[in-house]
């Protein structure tokens, strides 16, 4: 799958607000929300093709207890979303 970016930050939403987290942003979203602030993951998709195993390896860190996937709309159009999510 095309991955736009993987970065560490503090969760800013929901029950895990304030918890250090790693974020994985997929690229290639086919929606065109007027409020989109990540055109590099939507209108002009950028990133690198990565396997699920490679993504898991990147996010595995002893000092990060949670991870979040961003831009999952892309999985609606990927060839095998169920396989991607369960791998």
Find the shortest distance in angstroms from Cβ 70 to ligand SF4. Answer: 8
Find the shortest distance in angstroms from Cβ 72 to ligand SF4. Answer: 9
Strand blocks (E) in the chain: 2-10, 20-26, 48-49, 66-70
Give the angle subtended at the CA of 34 by the CAs of 28 and 40, to the nearest 5°. 30
Site string for ligand SF4, 63-82 (x = CB under 6 A): --------x-x---------
In the range 15-74, which residues lie near ligand SF4 by CB under 6 A? Answer: 29, 31-33, 36, 38, 41-42, 71, 73
Per the CB < 8 A criterion, the answer to whether 74 and 1 are in contact is yes
């Amino acid at each position: 799958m095309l991955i736009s970016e993987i970065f560490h930050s503090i969760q800013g939403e929901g029950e895990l607000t304030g918890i250090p987290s790693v974020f994985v942003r997929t690229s290639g979203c086919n929606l065109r929300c007027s409020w989109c602030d990540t055109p590099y993951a939507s209108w002009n998709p950028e990133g690198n093709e990565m396997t699920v195993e490679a993504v898991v390896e990147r996010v595995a860190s002893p000092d990060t207890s949670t991870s979040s996937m961003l831009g999952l709309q892309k999985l609606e159009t990927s060839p095998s979303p169920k396989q991607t999510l369960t791998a």
